[in-house]
Amino acid sequence: MPKHTGRKQQKQTRSDRQQASQSSAGSGPLREEGAVVKDWGGKFSVALSFPNSYYVGMSSLALQILYSRLNQDADVVCERIFWTKGDADAGKPLLSLENGRPADEFDIWAFTVSWEMDYFNVVEMLRQAKVPPLAADRQASKQWNGDPWPLLITGGPGITMNPEPLAPFFDVILIGEGEEAVPQFMDLCRAGLDEDRAALLATLDRTPGFYVPSLRPSNRDHVDFRPVERLWVRNLPGFRTASSLYT
């Protein structure tokens, strides 16, 4: 079951959280077309982040495609979380745009990363959310209420070219193009995320395109080194590569 079903009610109302989140993303409430707002009841939750400002992130076609594709699944709620300069230093909570949910309440936290300079923002977002930045620390601990930490996955052009700078921070890294891999990843997570996370990571490590840094040495001279198979989209015309969100 999704971990959020048994959580305590937050002190703020949904509208309060939405307003706080959207005010951080831009100057005042956002005006958008195409945003998907779902009820969380019994759904698998995914936070989708671009580690830069709202307006930079919204120009990412990868984020647009993933957001649309994940929300097409009736059993999944996918909400966006962006980096905002100064918010971490000011002690502001890191909240999703759609429902104002804290980042640590999601089952999965996915990052699409395009540029090396945004690597710093990834770590800042994790600290702002009070999520242990290192994957090893998350895998060895739980949250204050006994819930596991969100499973962190990343992908994107910068990551595919060289995943190692961010490898210590992520549970799973997708190498290559994710359009065809996302449904498979979600199915595997539904089956094993809450039951046995170690077994889920082992399964993902054996799945083409998925790199689990804790299970796969990166040193090519290591006796257990295994290259990760890069994913390519076999049927590109089969995927809608256009914006579905407008602001």
Domain 42-218 has CATH 1.10.3470: no
Asked if 113 and 148 touch (Cβ cutoff 8 Å), the reply is no
Q: Which residue has the higher pLDDT, 221 or 231?
A: 231
Q: How far is 88 from 100, CA to CA, in rounded Å?
A: 16
The token pair that represents 27 in the structure block: 């100057």
pLDDT recorded at residue 240: 67
Across all residues in the chain, what is the average pLDDT?
Answer: 85
pLDDT recorded at residue 27: 42
pLDDT recorded at residue 200: 94
Average of per-residue pLDDT across 221-237 = 73
Is the pLDDT confidence value at 34 over 60?
A: yes
Average of per-residue pLDDT across 216-225 = 70
For the chain, give the percent of residues with pLDDT over 90. 59
Give the model confidence (pLDDT) of 159-191 as tens digits. 999 999 999 999 999 998 877 888 889 999 988
